Structure 1
């Protein structure tokens, strides 16, 4: 963990951040000197962080058999290695050593689960969703998955889209937006690591039955040479050949980029910022979503927020912790001059493995909290 005062003064940190704030317990310092020097800034957030720390038990509440180890201090590398998926396929980007060797030039090519077939959904669900999914337990029960399956680590991307759509009134169990007939168009802002996990978006076929899902992914992390490229996902993700027998061989998932295939999910890639590329996109959105946006940290978000306000469409943002969402919400409200329509709230489909080396002692998870305008 980094010292909360790192980079805020002339004096360098003297070592590890081992001195937590006695009041909130959410930040730590390398020395008493840095703790005192940082108080003028920290005092404005200390009470708020103290309240957030009281909800830690809710953040760590997952139904999985691996929840305790995934929310503890065990490294991601260790967690993945125990399951034989360390630096494999779509799992490669889930740890630091994988991040260092991964290349977005290979996006969309890692198309298998690399785990036994009883641990992942490789075929259409046995029944359509009859009640709104409200938790990982609901999803696993519906998809007939055992609670030792690690697929939630990757499926938090499509499940967060599903949950965001439900919150703004878009979905097969909600009164559909009148413009949503047989095609749901989503503008997905700032993708990064999910670019190497594109196949998991095929699960949207099950979550939005009867709808063609078209997602425009826009962000600077998309390689310029892939700009405008379409990726068509026509079936569900499968296992590696020869590793295990799929539950339904005739319904194995494939990633199809050939022409002539009618897909259930289409992804289109755009390099750059949303406010610069919006006019180039092929569709108008029913929903804008920005996972793990870091809005308060990057000034480039401000013209994008102004554009979304003009579009007057539902927009949902997520971040790694409640404090990041609070800061982001304040930035957005300053730009649009009104309160958010969707207040900051915990995402039931956050990734169930803790982020390593957070700047806060608050537990952090990918897509942990969400809010919207």
Structure 2
């Protein structure tokens, strides 16, 4: 947490900011003088932030047995992962705050070294669901019940990526194009970052989109140059750690390819900004839907030409962001380009990651893929 007035004048007092705004409680200051000098900048946003803070309880509400531990601010990520034996472990490494260097030096391919859940079969979705998906999943409780998972399973921490894609599809106008996407669905996924280390969990989309050949283009500057153009088909689910589980035989069966499978997930990586790479991408894949997770639209000017492009393409696009204020600012940026209100208004994502973000500039509850909105 930083002083909200940092860089606006006199240097900040040493130590963390401890004075919070008495109205909204969302911003903090290092001193009374900084709080007073910042009021002209803060007074317009203060009522809005106050309203957002009132929704904190709803944002922190998850059905899991570990909810209290995973939603407390202050070093929760590493301590929580350590408490469940997953700290700096396999595919979970990128969720750890204390090991960014580990992730920078280990950038495996889609079928890379992080080869299983590091969990027992009873705690993860490593095989086909017991029954096909038949009703709309409205949140984590529905998903866990459908997948026969106990509520102490931490897999939602990683599965918020594919479940958010599922939810974006349900909210977008694409779902009305029944005939067009009856067997094939193309999604352009913009700005992947942390999920580049967790791509194996996207195999869960097989269960969420039964009978559909799903092709996802992941485009963004965070894609390493040596992985530009990399492609892989996820024919099976991320396996568990039990050596005797059936998921091991499924993986061996489909290691040679996905031929004959009714549902497959194909991922292709592209380095660069969407508006710079789109011509090459459209030669291979014309999207039904565009998804931009944790986009930070208001924070990066590079989004403006991309939004202009999406407007011209007329493709449904759904964005997510870490907190409501970021979504609010993004909505303003999008509307300034499109000259129209959002097609999909800002709303809480029921499949947001149930592990609080720790590097927020505000006291607002922040979660990966927390709020969802679209154009």
Instruction: State the 1:253 CA deviation.
Output: 8.3
Name which of structure 1's ranges 259-268 and 192-201 shifts more when overlaid on structure 2: 259-268
In 2, Cα distance between equivalents of 1:285 and 1:294: 22
Instruction: State the 1:111 CA deviation.
Output: 2.3
Decide whether the 8 Å contact of 1:235 with 1:252 is kept in 2.
yes
1:368 equivalent in structure 2:
370
- Residues 122-153 of structure 1, C-alpha deviations (whole Å, 9 max, x = no match): 11111112210001000000000000000000
Matched, 1:303 2:305: yes
In 2, Cα distance between equivalents of 1:278 and 1:199: 25
2:69 equivalent in structure 1:
69
In 2, Cα distance between equivalents of 1:284 and 1:98: 37
1:251 equivalent in structure 2:
250
In 1, Cα distance between equivalents of 2:134 and 2:100: 38
1:135 equivalent in structure 2:
139
Name which of structure 1's ranges 38-47 and 361-370 shifts more when overlaid on structure 2: 38-47
Normalised to the residue count of structure 2, the TM-score between the two structures is 0.93
Instruction: State the 1:97 CA deviation.
Output: 2.0
1:49 equivalent in structure 2:
49
Decide whether the 8 Å contact of 2:235 with 2:257 is kept in 1.
no
2:30 equivalent in structure 1:
30
Instruction: State the 1:89 CA deviation.
Output: 1.2
Superposition pairs of residues 151-300 of structure 1, within 5 angstroms:
151-171=155-175, 175-240=176-241, 243-246=242-245, 248-252=247-251, 261=259, 264-281=264-281, 282-300=284-302
Matched, 1:345 2:347: yes
In 1, Cα distance between equivalents of 2:162 and 2:91: 14
- SS in structure 2 opposite 1:50? helix
1:6 to 1:48, Cα distance in 2 relative to 1, 3 A: same
In 2, Cα distance between equivalents of 1:162 and 1:360: 29
In 2, Cα distance between equivalents of 1:156 and 1:43: 35
Decide whether the 8 Å contact of 1:233 with 1:255 is kept in 2.
no
Decide whether the 8 Å contact of 1:319 with 1:325 is kept in 2.
yes
Decide whether the 8 Å contact of 2:26 with 2:363 is kept in 1.
yes
Decide whether the 8 Å contact of 1:228 with 1:268 is kept in 2.
yes
- SS in structure 1 opposite 2:107? helix
Q: CA RMSD in A?
A: 1.8
1:11 equivalent in structure 2:
11
Name which of structure 1's ranges 120-129 and 72-81 shifts more when overlaid on structure 2: 72-81
Decide whether the 8 Å contact of 1:237 with 1:254 is kept in 2.
no
**Number of matched residues?**
367
1:14 to 1:203, Cα distance in 2 relative to 1, 3 A: same
1:238 to 1:254, Cα distance in 2 relative to 1, 3 A: farther
1:98 equivalent in structure 2:
99
In 1, Cα distance between equivalents of 2:253 and 2:95: 22
Q: Unaligned stretches of 5+ in structure 2?
A: none
Decide whether the 8 Å contact of 1:107 with 1:197 is kept in 2.
no
- Residues 44-75 of structure 1, C-alpha deviations (whole Å, 9 max, x = no match): 11000000111111000100000011001352
Normalised to the residue count of structure 1, the TM-score between the two structures is 0.94
Decide whether the 8 Å contact of 1:64 with 1:148 is kept in 2.
yes
